[in-house]
Structure formats: structure tokens, C-alpha cells
Structure 1
């Protein structure tokens, strides 16, 4: 049996099938990767900044198309009502709460616009509550940043009660209670620039994205390559089985006794 399997013709077949399996498996995995990548979020168009009043309202949620849009806002900060968003890193997409306990603070400051409404602004990040950079600038400021939807109060795992002046999330529903005299617009702005300039560390915020659509054709291609690989194994099995069967038949025929030749008739 081993001699048959290692015959030159079958060795060539084994090598061919191995090459086919490796190639078709990688081709299928490549097509599967293309399929998976097609569903990943992609960068959406990023229009020029607009006034924050065009995208936010008092008592109305920020629309999906406004999320991460660039906005500008001019007004004065209300230093007396500044809050620290506890246990945060300098990235708006990073988890907060218990997952980032002791990592630092976002500076959340109400910006009062000329119409009397208030826009919550994450001015930046500081490592400690006593950082001198947390001081609120006086006078009129112009903030440029990206608009974010209000966080839910259960978006983070809280690590206990926070000191006065600190919150765990940037929740419009919570801010309405913390700033009872303010007409708070929904959502918040993550500042990327300020005039006059700020000394705090900016909080990273991503541009808008849009969901990708899966290209099911690539998934079909992946399955097709793998089916071809299975078919190659199926054909290899049949070729090897036939070779072994033929070898057994030849060996059986060689072992059977040959019939004796008839004796020659004596000459008359």
C-alpha cells in the first residue's frame, strides 16, 4: 500500500492537491476579508463648520446627520457652573467610568450664546482636578469643534458617588438638573480649537462616519473557493482509492495458482 501511495504518479497528485488546498483556502480567506471590510464604517462627507444653532435645539435631540459635524459657537463661558467629567481619557470614543478610573477629567463648561441658550462644551482634558489649565477664560470666546449626541446616564459603569462638581457622563437630562436656570441645547461640543487659544489638552474626536454595505458577492466567492478545495479532496480520494484497488487486484491475480498445462498425448 505504501509503495503504491509513494508511486511517482501519486506523489505528483499529492503535491498538486496540497497546492490547490493551500491556494484555494487563502483565496477564500481573502474574499472573506473583503466581505468583512465592506461592512466597516467609512468616513462620511465632512462639510465646513456651521453655527451650532443650526444643528441643535432646546428640548430636541440631535439628529443622526448632525453627529460629529463641525460647528462653531460664540459666547461666554459660565465659570461658576463648570463641571468635571470624571474618569475619562483624552478621547471621546474611549470608555469612561470604572474602565478609566483615575485617568483624568474632561472640562465640561456651559457656553452661553447671545440668544441666552447654553451649549455644553468639552473644552479639553486635564490629568487632575487641580490642574491650572482648568481655569475658565473670561470674556467672549469662539469655539470650533465637533457636535456629539448627549450620553446616556448608564453609558459608563460608575465607581461610586462623585464629589460635588463632578459628573460621570455628559447627559443633557442630567445637565438640566445641574444647571436649572439654563436653557440647555441638546448634545455637546468637543472643542478642537478656540479663540483665544486654550491651554488644555484637546479631547480627540473622530469625523463623521457612515455604515458600509456588505458585498455579499465576495462572501459567495469565498464559499466558492472553499467548495472547489473540497472537490479537489474528493477527486484525490477517488484517484487514490482506485490506485489502491487496482494494486490489490494485481497482487491477488499474481498469487492465484496458474492452471496446469495438459500433458502431451503419447505418440502412437
Structure 2
């Protein structure tokens, strides 16, 4: 039996079957990878900064294409209303409203500090120009269920609904800006908060999943054909050893 299995013809068949399995397996895995990658969010065109007033309006939710867009805002910080956003990467965000001079304000995350007494918490005076990325208002549902008491002047989320209550009399634009640059630069700057550029949801390409299944089916078919030829070879050898008896003469 071993002599048959390792005959030159069957050895070539074994190698061909192994090669077919490897090729079909790799091609199927490649198509599966294309399918998985198609469903992941991917970066889109990141336009140049625009005035925040063109994307954020009081009382209106941000549109999907406005999220994470680069924006600029010019005005003066209202130091009396500054808040610290707790539990952010082991530290706090500096949240300060920027008065745009048109009767509205936009919350600005000026940066991250490790503790409430950090020198970077000092609010810059005078007119500034902030460049950053626009983010939607955060949800407060999970916060309302918590019983932990925060120190005065601290919050857990940057929520427009909550800020309206904390800053009464303020006409607040929706969302908030995460600052990436400020002019003039502050004397002591907080560490910038990282914000990803705009992304677009992926669309699964089911065709590639079908291609992956097709390649794996080809691989299984190669195994079947290998088994079929090996079986026939073994049967043929067995028949050569035990030929059918000749019919008796009449």
C-alpha cells in the first residue's frame, strides 16, 4: 500500500492537492480580509477649517458631516463659567465657554490637566482665536444614574443640556470644540486632547465574502478529487493482486 501511495504518479497528486489547498486557503482568507475591512470606518476628506458658526447653531443638533470637522472660533473666554470635566484619562478637561461676540457662546475644551490646581487651568484674557474640531454633545443618561458627588465646578460630561442649566442666561451653540491650537498661545498651555479626524462608516461588501466561500469550496473539491484518485489507485492495485476467477469450462 505504501508503495502505491508513494509512487511517482501519486506523489505528484499529493503535491498538487497540497498546493491547491494552500492557494485556495490563502485566496479565501484574502477575500475574507477584504470583506472585513470594508465594514470598518475609514477616514474621509478633512476639509480646511471653517467658522464654527456655520456648523453649530443654538438649539439644533449637529449634522453628521459636521462631527469632527475643523473649525475656528474667535472671541473671549468667560473665565467665571469654566468647568472641569472629571475622569478623563486620569485627569480633567478644561471646559471654558468662548463668547463669540454675537450673543452666543460655544463650549471649548482647552486641553487636559492632571489635577485641578494645575497652572494651565488659568483662563487666558483678551481676544483669542481657537482652532479645533467640533464634537457633538455627550449624553448624560449614564451620569444621572450615578450617585457620586463631584467637587464644585466639576462635571462628568460635556452635555449641552446640562451646560444650559449650569450657565443660565447663556445662548449656547450646540456641541463643543476640542481645541488644537490657540492664538495668541497661553502662557501655560494644557496638554491638547486628541480627536480623530472625520470618518465614514464602512459598507460590507458581501460579494467578497461569497468569493472567500467559493475559494474554500474549491479547496474542498481538490481534497475530494485527491481522495477519489487515491482510492481508485488502491482499488486497481487490489484487483491486480486478486483477479476475478475465470469462469469454469462447460
Q: Normalising to structure 1: TM-score of the pair? A: 0.85
Bigger Rg over Cα: 1
**Structure 1 alignment gaps of length 5 or more:** 90-102, 262-268
Equivalent pairs, count: 246
* Kept after mapping to 2: 8 A contact 1:123/1:200: yes
* Kept after mapping to 2: 8 A contact 1:155/1:169: no
Alpha-carbon distance in structure 2 between the residues aligned to 1:129 and 1:159: 21
**Structure 2 alignment gaps of length 5 or more:** none
Corresponding residue to 1:147 among 134, 137, 152: 134
Paired residues for 1:118-267 under 5 Å: 118-154=105-141, 160-198=148-186, 199-253=189-243
Q: Normalising to structure 2: TM-score of the pair? A: 0.90
Q: Over aligned residues, Cα RMSD in angstroms?
A: 2.2
- 1:114 positional shift: 0.5
Q: Deviations over 1:222-248 (max 9, x none)?
A: 222111111101101111111121122
Q: Deviations over 1:202-236 (max 9, x none)?
A: 11111111223333332232222111111101101
Paired residue secondary structure (1:18): helix
Aligned to 1:92: none
Q: Deviations over 1:79-112 (max 9, x none)?
A: 12111111113xxxxxxxxxxxxx1111111111
Alpha-carbon distance in structure 2 between the residues aligned to 1:159 and 1:201: 30
* Kept after mapping to 2: 8 A contact 1:84/1:166: yes
- 1:124 positional shift: 0.5
Paired residue secondary structure (1:170): coil
Alpha-carbon distance in structure 2 between the residues aligned to 1:200 and 1:40: 33
* Kept after mapping to 2: 8 A contact 1:72/1:142: yes
